Structure 1
């Protein structure tokens, strides 16, 4: 399956987020605008970090926000948020974060495939910095190798 398409509605560049919760809500709001999820999914992403800690900060500067598949996921979706000022999530090594990915997967079976595709993408250590510097949704899609 790989990664879902990334619509212009799902890309937010140079955003301002005073806290990690605000950063996750930007990523979740982009998923909602793209038609992939409901607001409940955004709150589930925040709850995952409240419950399990900042495990979503998977590499320096990068948070990978997601929650479990369920009724709040309308279809597979991806969002990308870049922050004008990095924000701390509380991760001991990978803070602060300036790129937040949001992922919503409708089916349990494809959830791990999508996570694997994201992990493979970010094996290239330059991807986070390139995304942080992106100025258009087309540039973000080109860096990530995903369609609109």
Structure 2
């Protein structure tokens, strides 16, 4: 699955250099990308926001990076990702990793697909060189190419 990043991250799931007032708006943008790509219904966006409200900012997994997600549910139609690069970073309330400038939305149809896609993204983002390239990438095509490398 990790090799088919094109199917999990279509052009419609990207928003590059967009503004958000706060973490809720940042997650809402990630949810819009998931919905626009047919991965989720709008209800999933509310589930992602509720996860932060109930569990805290655990989604901020590295400096400047949030992996917005919720558990597989009826609101998930297909496994996929959205990619939101914010024009101005926002705070999620995670002292170690705030502020966030990249929000990746993750929707998993089931636990297995959820974990496979999440680990593929995590391995790419654990490489500082790739992370820097992703921050500078100009197009969705460039981002997919970096993730596949």
Q: TM-score, normalised by structure 2?
A: 0.91
1:137 equivalent in structure 2: 140
Of the three residues 70, 75, 80, the one matched with 1:72 is 75
Give 1:32's match in structure 2, choosing from 32, 35, 42.
35
Unaligned runs of 5+ in 2: none
Q: Note the residue ranges of structure 1 that are not aligned, 5 or more in a row.
A: none
CA contact (8 A) 2:61 2:67 kept: yes
73-82 or 130-139, which deviates more: 130-139
Counterpart CA distance in 1 for 2:58 and 2:99 is 13
Segments of 4+ in structure 1 off by > 3 A?
Answer: 126-129
Distance in 2 between residues matched to 1:96 and 1:32, nearest whole Å: 25
Structure 2 residue aligned with 1:97: 100
**Cα RMSD after superposing both structures:** 1.5
1:13/1:83 contact within 8 Å kept:
yes
Aligned residues: 146
CA contact (8 A) 2:28 2:45 kept: yes
In 2, distance between residues paired with 1:64 and 1:82? 12
| 1:99–1:131 Cα contact (<8 Å) kept | no
Distance 2:130 2:68 in 1: 17
Given candidates 37, 46, 50, the residue that maps to 1:43 is 46
More helix by share: 2
How far apart are residue 127 of structure 1 and its match? 3.2
Q: How does 1:47-126 map to 2 (within 5 A)?
A: 47-126=50-129
Q: CA deviation at 1:109?
A: 2.4
8 Å CA contact 1:15, 1:84 repeated in 2: yes
Residues 30, 104 of structure 2: 8 Å contact kept: yes
**SS of 1:126 mapped into structure 2:** helix
Query: Partner of 2:104: helix, strand, or coil?
Result: strand
Q: CA deviation at 1:136?
A: 1.0
